Every structure is written in structure tokens, then in C-alpha cells.
Structure 1
Amino acid sequence: MSPDARTPLPPFHDDLAAAWAELWRLLADGVRRGRSAFHTPSLATIGAEGRPRVRTVVLRAADPETATLRIHCDRRSDKAAELLARAPCALHAYDPESKVQIRIEGRAGLHADDAVAEAAWAGSQPMSRVCYGVEPAPGTALARGGAYAQPDPEAARALGRPNFCALLVRAESLDFLYLDRRGHRRAGWTRGAGGSHGTWHGTWLVP
């Protein structure tokens, strides 16, 4: 008997509601656990020339009630400028252990000088805050590898959060793909127009 035959299929294999719950459980695990594959998804934006750009980010929060995700960035960075100019973006992560891929498309809002940014900064670790005090700004060309300055934690604390911003990605569509030899399952959701939080309509898709 093959290992696949002995292993029961997960509950979300043929249950849209269970697939939805599993998607958000995995994202929540990514927020909490640094070793999770969903802790560091890829974020795609639209560059100044209209071309896609992608980079790895750290997932800081995932709210299933509003279908919103939070990441942090330096407000001087390219991704901050790109999202300020064009809000549409996408996130992607794949975990070979759970055999699940999650894709999210939505619109990002930047929060630098408001309660969202203040709360996100308050919840950040000192070692993370140091990153936002680096000079020169992210993406600056350097004459040599070490030609930048990074403040110590005490100096970073004194600087506050002048370069810090929180990005809230409001999902407009979600795609959940489970890979299994006995049959892949792919579920998709799109945000409807019913209320402030939207109404989600699940659909099984061809893998």
C-alpha cells in the first residue's frame, strides 16, 4: 500500500468552508512562527515603468474577518513608492510540507503617521526597529558593500519611527491550491459588494 493510500485526505480537500479556514490558519501560523513558509511571502507590485516587481516580505498580521494582511516597510523604499502610486498588488507563498500554495490579489494602503502605524511600531521588536534607521535609504547605490550606517538599538529607539510604515493589503481575491497525487484541489474566492467587509463566494477551480 502506498503512503498516499494510508494517509487520509485533509478535511478541506472537498469542503470550501474548511479550505477557507485552513487558508487563514496557515497565514496566522505564518504570522506567529518564523519557520513557517507563510511567514515570508513574496510581494508583487507595479514599478514606475509599468513592469511587475517582486520581493520577499515578512507577514505581520492576517485578519480573516476583513481579509486584510499587514506587512511593514521603510517608507523610503521602492515598494512604498510603487504602492503609493499604484495600489494593486499580489502576495504569494508555497509550503512544500503542507503542499499548499496561497495567492492573494488586492490593494495596499500605506500607513505612516496614524494609529495603524503607531500600533504596528509598538508591537515591533527592537531588532526590527533598527532596520528603519539605516542610512542611506534602501535601494541606494553604494560605492562599496559596507558603505552604510545602522544605528544601535538605543539610538533607533530615540529616533522613533520616521522611516517606518505599515502596509495593509485588503484582499480582493484569494486562491488556495492543495497539491496531492490523488487529486489536486484549488479553491478561489472573490470579494463581493455586500457590506463593508465584503461577501465571499467560494468556487472550485481547475488546478
Structure 2
Amino acid sequence: MNKIKKWIITVTLMLIVLATGLAACAPQNTVTTAPLDRWDENGLARNEAGNGNSQAVSVRNNAGGPGRRGPGGYGQNSGAAITPLSGEEADALQKAILEEYGALNLYQSVIEQFGSVSPFSQIVQSEQQHVNALTRQAEKYGIEIPANPGLSDPPAFSTLAEACQAGVNAELADANLYDQLKTITQHEDLLGVYDSLQSASLQNHLPAFQACQ
């Protein structure tokens, strides 16, 4: 009888020790986060956490100094603080805005003469986006945005082909100006914008105007 009691006590103690050991080895609740590898439309990095939930992580805008260019060449967010533009860079940005105003006004005048004709009806919308991209940069750096002077003497075209030739000349002038502005610009985000707008002029707008002559 005593042997049975001793055996029961021994087994009970072994079970207690085993249960305690298992509890100590049980995994703790942890959350593992993956690298920041997604970006939303607001410039927020999407952090895909190990628990299946997405967390938005705010990232400061890369406003100055060397850095990587993001999709579309508009400047990659890198956490760098804003570095003021030099006087030359500020003047260059204002010249770019005025140049895009000129193209926008020209194409609008063609639409007023000939109606909503292609490719002017499409390209005039793109030119407004160009103006918006540049004015956003000016606002970011605290640079005065020049007013749109309009066309003091709108050209009168006898044919749509003549208007298209004027479009060719305007896009070539845009591209040449950006070549000049990039030589005096150091900020990577501005260079990215200039590259993007110049590419749109040469690869999209220019061929469209050449085809309609």
C-alpha cells in the first residue's frame, strides 16, 4: 500500500514539473514587422506587419540635397529636412512656371479658335498638370508663384496645321529651357520634376503636334 502511495506521489510530482516546463517554453505573443515597401497616394509608407494589419508610417518629404528620385521623377521621400533653394534655383523655378503658362495659354487660344480639337484638347490638360507640379514645388520652398500673364496678343491661325506647328515650336522651347535650368539646379526633387516635364514635352506632346501638321 505504501508503495502505491509513493508511486502516485512520484507520478504527480513528475506531472507538475512537466507542466511547469511546458509553460515556460510556450512562445510569447510577438509582432514582427516587414520592411517598408509600399507607398500610398499620400506619400505614406505602408508597413505590412506580421499580424496582417497595415500601418501607415508618416515620412517627411525629401525637400533638398542629394537623394533618390521617386517614381515619375518627382523626388523620393527620404526624411531629409527642407534645404532652401539658392537664388538661381528660385529664379529658375519661376521661369519654368512662366514657360508652362505660355504653352498653356497658347493651346487654350487654339481651342478658342478651332474648338475642342485634338491634340490640343488633351495636351492643354497636361500643361495644367505641369503648372500644378511646378507651383507645388514653389509652395514647398516658399517661393513666390508668378501670376499667369495671359496672352496680350493671341495669335490667329488660318489652319489647324499652323497651330500644330506653333505647338511644335512651344514644346521644343520648353525642352530647351529645362536643359538650361537643370545646369543651375542642385535639388534632386526639382531635377526630377524638370526631367519629367521635359520628357513629357519631347516624348508625348511634340510627336502629337508633329503628326497633326
Q: TM-score, normalised by structure 2?
A: 0.21
Larger gyration radius, structure 1 or structure 2? 2
More helix by share: 2
More strand by share: 1
